[in-house]
Structure 1
Amino acid sequence: MRTRTRDTRTRHVIAVLVAGGLMAMALAACGGDGEAGTDSFSVGLLLPSKAVPRWEHSDKPLIEKRLKELCSGCTMEYANAENDATRQRQQIDSMITKGVGVLILDAADTKALRSSIQGAKAAGVPVVAYDRLAEGPISGYVSFDGAQVGRLQGEALLKAMGDKANGRTVVMMNGDPTSPNAAWYRQGALSVLTGKVKIGRSYDTQGWSTDNAHANMSAALAALGPDRIGGVLAANDAIAAGVISALKKAPVRELPPITGQDADLDAVRRIIIGEQVMTVYKPFKAEADAAAAMAVALGRGEELSEVATTTTDSPTTKDIPSVLLTPRAVTVANINQTVVRDGVYTIDQICTREFRPACDAAGLTR
């Protein structure tokens, strides 16, 4: 995957867009005479699974809300593939048959959806790749810098391991091999960990599944023994949950440092009680806003030059107009300054009765 960044002026434009400052432009574009909401087309949103909570709880409502703000006459069709590429192909076909004007697609399998994306192009329906870069003639791409996600995880793991990190054994619990993001995260993490720790075992996690992660971690424990595992690089929070459940079942009394990603509510709580050292927060609203802006522009037949800040090459398509956003590490020290400040969760949602003492100790409830 290769990206090229454009000039400072264009980056400033997208910063304004993602912050929500494009309303005046959007309203003017909705009607040629400056009257808002006079165009109407449907945007199809296709998300990959329900295993990762963010898709249904954050991305879907945020994209729908921003689409309405940018184009009040637009509607949204929604489908979730539940980790089934065949189902997602059928969902794409159904949406094209219904006459959607543009698709926002987070591919359940980025290679398997290639023919469907080609079919969408043949039908005159542009496709925005969301979060994962699917193969085929993609018109736009919105995601986060995956290498930076991995670097943040690797850096946090080394910090948590402290003086014991040098030469210690780390287990790599990678994401789903059908997702190009999984390789991106792994490469970023290895750029930090290589030469500093020994990678004792490395596993791919089909479907980003907690159950599959549990099985893989159980295998690592059997192969290495709990005393030899100094840390676990878990690619996301669902995987981290499986790792932790396997360690507890072993039983391992003192958990090694474990990373995560996606800022799931359960993961934030695990961080507070010390079961997980960090998660990577990818501000969902910024990603959703950029995808909605791309979809509305494409639905109106406009170019993405005022939206994209860079270009990306996929294995099949060059120079895809792209927005790559910056992820942030979340630890117990900055929960208030990240997911709480951005309105992802409230303190009351995080600090239920079970977690109140830990929240008090962490200074979250003062």
Structure 2
Amino acid sequence: MTKKVSALIILILVMACLVSCNTGAVREPVQSSVLKPETYYTSFKISACFGRFIETPYGSYFASGNRYIYYSHKGNTKYVKLCNKPDCSHNSEDCNAFLKGSVIGYYDNKIYYRRFKHIYCMDMDGCNHKIVKALYEEHCSNHGYFHNGYYYYIKTNFAEYNGVKGKDDPTLYRTKVDDKSESEVLLTNDLILQTDMFTMIGDNIYISVRNSDPDKISSLYSYSTVTESLSKLTDDWSGLGSYLRDENKGYCYVKNKGFYEYDFGTNEMSLVKPIELENGGISGAFYLDDYILLVHNNSVPFDYENQVMCIYDRDYNLLNTIVFDKANGKIPGGFLSDVDGYIIFSSNFRDKPDYYIDKSEIGTDNLQFHKIED
């Protein structure tokens, strides 16, 4: 109860600070009855821009490709750069919203972000940026995510969007974000050198590893931070078009084959919904609590203006098909994440979110993209 009251007080302060230069951000405070458990806000959440869109008790935050962090009260309402400096132009490195590009996380009334090999924190209104710690001494990059008060990472020579390459340290680390303690080694194994990506659910880390078999896409491993045990789950995982929902089942989409489910108890992988799309193309699936979004593009070369989104319920029934034609050709844009009753999109991942779908329109003829007004 104390945390919820504290959250409401800080939310009011955030609104008061933002009004000085971003009047569009002012909204009524959320009611304590709609606050979710703290683990909901601090847990890693899969979205199209991994680790860059987060929900908090105070609203939604997005670290865009233009190196700024944006704030929205409800996720589908106006996004503003998170800065309350008087007379700030909001287009220079002196702006409080300038992060130099980073994954972000929320924990205990603070926003955390990584800049090169350092962890930083700031207040919820964008003030008081501080260095928390250096992750290590050597000069190298890293790839990782914030989750439940920790930053999990792999050291790299360089990082790629939605994947990691150039690794020469076969170690997975984590570090507390709110103290000066050193990083701890979670796992040292050569499979880390072949890791495409990793995700966290509760106390488990799921690691997707490139497969040498050309007929398969990737292998899936599970590592428990409690028992410190590593297990191979399957050699038939789909890598980026996948999502692990709970401790009992894994869900993934394999391009031009369909939706699969993996039973952790029986170690069986089953094709539950065959799907063969015209011209193959590039596809990715995003599993929400209530829907599955299958985003397909069959343009050669790839064109972000030609994204077809199929919306399924969790029983794999097709509800709607809609074209996201808001992106600008070669500039990356599309699905970002979902917040409560809305699915959020950006026509340009280098800028702020600017469209949303109202979930109440799914399954009807009224489904459309709504503009997030400036």
Question: What TM-score, normalized by structure 1, do the two folds share?
Answer: 0.30
- Structure of higher RCO (CA pairs closer than 8 Å, 6+ residues apart): 1
Question: Larger % of strand: which?
Answer: 2
Question: Larger % of helix: which?
Answer: 1
Question: What TM-score, normalized by structure 2, do the two folds share?
Answer: 0.30
